[in-house]
Amino acid sequence: MSHGLLPDYVRMAKPNPPANRAPWYKNTAPTYAGIMLWFVFWMGVPSGGKVQPDPGGVLSQGVVTALFGLVLAALLCHFLYYLVPGLLGMKTGLPLYIVGTSTYGVQGGFIMPGFLMGVLQFGWLGVNAYFASLALAPLVGGSPAAQKVIAILWAAVAAFVGLKGIQYVAKVATFLPLIPLVILIVMLTKTLGGVGDFDADAFVAAGTAGSVNVGDLVAGSVPKGLSLFGVIALSLSYVIGFFATAGAAGADFGMNNSDKKNVQMGGLVGIAGATIFAGGAALLIAAGAFGKGLGYGLGVADAGFMGSVMGSESAGKTMSLLLAVAAFPPACFSSFIAANSFKTTLPKVNPLISVGAGTIVSIVLAVTGWAGDAAGVFTVIGASFGPICGAMMVDYLLSGQKWAGPRAGFNMAGWISWAVGFVVGMAPLVGLANVPAAPLVALIVGAVLYFVLAKAGLQSRVLEMPAAGAAKG
């Protein structure tokens, strides 16, 4: 078949050579671990990321149930969202926006997952700017105006660095994840002794009444927290929604791995392991602090909460500052990924304009507080990338566990499965339906529909790749 049918961005793609690859512990695992150690992730694990969390959050059924939901979510992130993109990247040596052309076509893949990945990075930048400004605002008086100014400056500087000088933060970013790691360990040490005294019913009551004294409540009025199923569903929604884009980006990580073992180990340690550690520590800290009588708190990275745990208000503010500093490189990397995506998909548009427009959106999300609804943001991300990961997984399996190669035009099996999966994933956010664990359901819908549509003959034909860019088995 003629190579002329391939767009330049596919035809000219070059696999990452084996000589440039490294063991999992030098690239995939530490990079993913840094993502999962970002305080914006683990601070929301106990509450499920909600702006107005349910009383007791995911701890309303006790510590064991909360940990079970977290572990299940972490394993699903590895096996359903990351593994196939990672293996595709490893086997082909090609990035996501190339291997995605098998699922969405060479024209469709230009838009999704490539361009979509870039667009959603500005949502991440908005989330980063919002929570970093919350952490830093108390240092300058804590007024809403101060928080907004910090959010604007944070997003603007991160976008500039991501566009122009990501190389200057890369080395620093290698070590900054140690800051949240140390803070988690310190707080866990301070609170672990109280986990055995944790009472889930009292915790739920405290979340409703603002008091740890259940006896002050009217008899029979003790509120009910989430059900066991509700706890697990909320954990799945939050963790998977947070991770979905990073899972699809597994192709970009996998192209730096030499074999399947390295792909597996990088995910098991950097994704599942780091998620369980960071999220589990947050759950135990919240439970332990309550058990020790230090108060009710679901936002374990809040300066006030940390000050209470440490017995010093200034210590809490210092830890909050350190967590914000450690969050700056992720903001730069989000901007960097977005800039690369736009340079590839919008080559005729000046990156200063495209990235600048995206940054303005990030700032609007941050200063209006919309980015503070982490659960809502993660629902959008999970709805967007859940069907992508599901369809890519089925496409990989139908092709004999290898990359099928780029497909012509728009592969309708991929696009239809994505559209339906996206609607299902967004349903709870827009009030269409109450879909439990919506990001996971979106993946399942995308996977099942892709299988059905592929078997019905709605896959477009495979185009031949030039020898230098051909897929490897």
Task: Please say whether the beta carbons of 437 and 237 come within 8 A.
Answer: yes
Is the predicted pLDDT of residue 173 greater than 80, yes or no?
Answer: no
Q: Which helix (H) or strand (E) holds 172?
A: helix 166-175
Task: Please say whether the beta carbons of 57 and 47 come within 8 A.
Answer: yes
**pLDDT digit string, tens, across residues 56-113:** 999 999 999 999 999 999 999 999 999 999 999 999 999 898 999 999 999 998 888 8
For residue 222, the model assigns a pLDDT of 52
Average pLDDT over residues 163-186: 75
With respect to residue 10, please indicate whether it lies within any of the assigned structural domains.
no
Cα(252)–Cα(90) distance, integer angstroms: 9
1 band by pLDDT with thresholds 50, 70 and 90: very low
For residue 174, the model assigns a pLDDT of 67
Handedness of CA 168, 174, 175, 181 (dihedral sign): positive
Cα(345)–Cα(355) distance, integer angstroms: 12
User: What tokens appear for 162 in the block?
Assistant: 């991501």
Average pLDDT over residues 256-285: 96
3-state secondary structure of 462: strand
Cα(362)–Cα(330) distance, integer angstroms: 14
For residue 167, the model assigns a pLDDT of 53
pLDDT top residue among 451 and 50: 451
For 465: left if phi > 0, alpha if psi spans -120 to 50, otherwise beta; the answer is: beta
Is the predicted pLDDT of residue 347 greater than 80, yes or no?
Answer: no
With respect to residue 14, please indicate whether it lies within any of the assigned structural domains.
no
What is the pTM for the complete model shown?
0.90
With respect to residue 467, please indicate whether it lies within any of the assigned structural domains.
no
For residue 172, the model assigns a pLDDT of 57
Cα(418)–Cα(465) distance, integer angstroms: 25
Cα(190)–Cα(263) distance, integer angstroms: 36
- Cβ atoms within 10 Å of 452's Cβ, excluding its own: 14
With respect to residue 5, please indicate whether it lies within any of the assigned structural domains.
no
Mean per-residue pLDDT over the chain, rounded: 89
Is the predicted pLDDT of residue 343 greater than 90, yes or no?
Answer: no
With respect to residue 13, please indicate whether it lies within any of the assigned structural domains.
no
Identity at 32, one-letter amino acid code: Y
State the total domains in the chain.
1
Is the predicted pLDDT of residue 471 greater than 60, yes or no?
Answer: no
CA distances from 386 to 176, 379, 395, 423, 443 (A): 29, 10, 14, 11, 4
Q: Which domain holds residue 363?
A: 22-462
**pLDDT digit string, tens, across residues 273-298:** 999 999 999 999 999 999 999 989 99
Domain with residue 225: its CATH number is: 1.10.4160.10
**Across-strand partners of 462?**
407
With respect to residue 298, please indicate whether it lies within any of the assigned structural domains.
yes
